[in-house]
Structure 1
């Protein structure tokens, strides 16, 4: 069986390789430049020393008879000449004279070889006829009206050893700096990646359900990422909650319509055609509720406030349905709703509001239910549903608009209807309040800005 290893792409590895490549390139470039500058400095120092020794060089020329007698006074201080390896060249760098030491070494073509490299940058280095390396120092002299291009040659072995030692020291220091940079780079890399590691751990916690969002104290460079992730998590959670609420609300809304269908089928006073028509009305309402809840699950409450819905026909339709469901109670229902009054929003929202509030009123009343709709002088739409039932204790009035909280635990229910009403009213920037009714029961007042 053949084993295949697949290396994972790592951001830290890319950063290390890139950074180390840059450090190595810059470091070796600087080391090379330092070595070149050191060699040039040595060459310049040696040239300066030769210039300081010009009288001795000239003495070498005088011994060879190349200087006129008039230069004797200038050479009085150099009557003990020092031998140099010298070659004299004309303007075209043809060798016209060779010192005795150069003759002994057989260096008769030095000028011609130097002419090939004289345009390069110093130091000048040549392998000459004796197969040895030399550093060449060019001295241009004008002595007694005669122009001399002197090439002074020095054995490169000693200088090469010194430059080699200096080069090794330079590269050793570079290696030390490189090692220190590597340690600092690794430390900086892991230190810099810690926020990302922490983000990964927090995302794992979110995925496992331990937390709901990322913490806020991240570096500035990651603030945008964490804020976007938190917003995405919040939207996902809200979407999931909307789906769950929509399904609960749909079940709650369909329960009343199904009860109405059962009541219609049990009503012996209706013939088959009348029963079928009323059942179809309830089925149509169920279809409308399903579409409404699906739309709300997708979009949320926002974006549904886009039409005007007449109130009286819908309240009358709901009351006829509730009469069938609660026909044993003989409820006296009264509606004070002008025909032209309209709810400033979606029909599905109005059906949820009136359906939930009127069902609670029919269920809990003794014998009376009243619905009122009006426009206030403050420019608000007002809908009031009240009954003559036991009412709601003041301590419970704020809590029962929360999901799952019920005022009457003796009767069946899930504690969803009032919470749905409150969510709808809030989506219209309105307010749902619970008061005591003149009928001695509960009064639910909805106010929505127009």
Structure 2
């Protein structure tokens, strides 16, 4: 089987190739333009020189009787210089050829120039003698006569100079590209440093050393880091929610299992009645499991858009607690109207009443009272009271935290009241702890309707 080598995609490689391509394209384009401008500048300079040499050109024209001999301004230009010249009429037909041009056999200069005269200078022609010439057009008036003169110069020397200039230009361009490459590599690695830092911080988060990305990232990455931090917070919150749900489920099932043990130990019940009571507790356990799993998936905000009758929840809980704490002979008082509704989910109501009533039955001396009503402000109010030792004032806020317990002598994990406080907070309500007229603790829940 042939082994295929597949290169990994690298962001830096893409950046380098794209940036270098752009720099090279722009650089060579500029070099090309510089060379063209240089050639045009050289052509213009040579044209200016020829304009300065017009008297010498005119001297050669006078030598061939093409201009009058009476021009006084020619007297000072006695230097005889031979030029490769062709004189053209208005339609660029060659009407005269200088002796040097005749020697080289250049009799069709005007016609060839007419083919390229609409192009941009410099004008370059390869003539009949197989040599290259730069052609300079001089439209002049001498002694009242109009002349279209084409002055040609051998291109070999000019081409050599142009070649040297182009070589120097491209050498400088190569140096600039090399410097640009160094700066590009530096800029790329400098620009990628925040991503390397992000990678290291994400590894630290994965190893449990930190919980979120730090601040101070460039503006372009702030949106990414904020989104990642939000995702990490949501993941952490979901994980905490699952853990809390499992702890709450274990705490809730503990009371039901205690009730099952109490039912099986109750000799006053026959087998059928005992089985019915046990099945009732198992049914409540099933409801609790479904409720906690749903809460773990959605959070408490997704569970509160319901209304639940209170008495059908409170009465079975009271019967269960009577079985568990039957040796206390608790006097239970319930002041709840049969039609009164709890403004929330049945599972939440079972958690609230189950935890608060279980605490009251466990810590009371002999009396427990539960009251539910709408107070004068229109809020739903649920109160659970007992005649036990109560809660010291400095502990009333602390025991609403997970793992904190007021009574360290009796068994427990300190979860129940924290669960109640979380549920009440999710409804925008308050859970307060006061002293009861029964001389014990009074747990009061107020929820907006």
Q: How do 1:159-308 and structure 2 match up within 5 A?
A: 159-308=158-307
Q: Is the 8 A contact 2:85 2:149 kept in 1?
A: yes
Which residue matches 1:37?
37
Does 2:432 match 1:433? Answer: yes
Distance, in Å, in 2 between the alignment partners of 1:55 and 1:76 is 10
State the partner residue of 1:408: 407
What TM-score, normalized to structure 2?
Answer: 0.94
TM-score, normalised relative to structure 1: 0.94
Partner of 1:16: 16
Shift of 1:392: 2.5
SS for the counterpart of 1:77 is coil
Partner Cα separation in structure 2 for residue 110 and residue 202 of structure 1: 77
Measured in 1, the distance between the counterparts of 2:184 and 2:292 equals 57
Deviates more, 1:114-123 or 1:288-297: 114-123
Structure 2 segments unaligned to the other structure (5+ residues): none
Matches of 2:72 and 2:351 in 1, distance apart? 126
Q: Is residue 71–residue 143 contact of structure 2 (8 Å, CA) maintained in 1?
A: no
Indicate whether 1:51 and 2:59 are aligned. Answer: no
Whole-angstrom CA distance in 1 between matches of 2:20 and 2:437 = 84
Give the drift of 1:80: 3.7
Per-residue CA shift, 1:250-274, capped at 9, x if unaligned? Answer: 1111111122122222222222322
CA distance in 2 between partners of 1:158 and 1:268 (Å):
127
- 1:99 & 1:142 partners in 2: Cα distance? 18
Pair 1:75 & 2:74 matched: yes
Residue by residue over 1:37-60, the C-alpha shift from the partner in whole angstroms, topping out at 9 and shown as x without a partner, is: 111111112112212222221211
Please state how far the C-alpha of 1:105 moved relative to its aligned partner: 2.5
Deviation by residue 1:297-324 (Cα, 9 ceiling, x = unmatched): 1111113222222222321111011111
Counterpart position of 1:63:
63
Q: Distance in 1 between matches of 2:85 and 2:410?
A: 124
**Aligned equivalents of 1:72, 1:312: Cα separation in 2:** 133
Deviations, residues 164-187 of structure 1 (Å, cap 9, x unaligned): 222222222222322222222222
Gaps of 5+ in 1: none
TM-aligned CA deviation for residue 239 of structure 1? 0.7
Q: Tell me how far 1:240 sits from its aligned partner.
A: 0.8
Equivalents in 1 of 2:3, 2:125: separation in Å?
A: 57
Per-residue Cα deviation, 1:335-377 (whole angstroms, up to 9, x for no partner): 1222232222111111100101111111122222111222221
Structure 1 partner of 2:441: 442
Give the SS at the match of 2:75. helix
Partner of 2:120: 121
- C-alpha distance in 2 between matches for 1:41 and 1:186: 37
What is the rounded CA distance, in whole Å, between the counterparts of 1:353 and 1:29 in structure 2? 78
Q: Check conservation: 2:386, 2:438, Cα contact below 8 A.
A: yes
In the alignment, structure 1 residue 330 sits paired with structure 2 residue 303:
no
What SS does structure 2 have at the residue aligned with 1:377?
coil
Alignment RMSD (CA, Å) = 2.0
